[in-house]
Amino acid sequence: MVPDAKPQTFGDLEPSRWPGERLGLPESGPGSVARVGRRIGGLLIDWASAMLLALLFTPYESVAYTWVTPIVFGVLQVIFIPTLGGSIGHRAVGLRVVPLTGGWIGVWRPVVRTALLVFVVPALVWDSDQRGFHDKIAGSVLVRS
């Protein structure tokens, strides 16, 4: 490879200096990639909200409660991401979900993102930009507000 040449393949990519650099996002402040602490805080708020709302439909001790909670969680995500720019938990900790292409997030991205997120595993697999598999597939990124 020529010393000053730009990388041409994925394996030739240089490591980024901060999460989101390759996406054109700032290192810190508004618009920077959300870090782990805020992500976990937002997720805990969202899951607690889903658990409380699920209690309106099913008793806590029932088997149905274990199924209703993730459904409520998913519905809340799909409703609030396109309308508020993030879930209640995201907004409470100062985050928002944006498409990589810019503009409005739309409806299909939150649906895809949430469907994958409910399976949990995609959220545990991150790239160097700290984007989970669910965000990569949906073409979105969780950033600071």
Tens-digit pLDDT profile for residues 118-137: 887 676 788 888 888 889 89
Q: pTM here?
A: 0.84
Contact 112, 119 (CB under 8 A): no
Q: Which residues of 83-122 are buried (b: 16+ CB within 10 A; e: fewer)?
A: eebbbbbbbebebbbbeeeeeebeeebbbbbbbbbeeeeb
Mark the ranges of the chain whose per-residue pLDDT is less than 70.
1-13, 121, 123
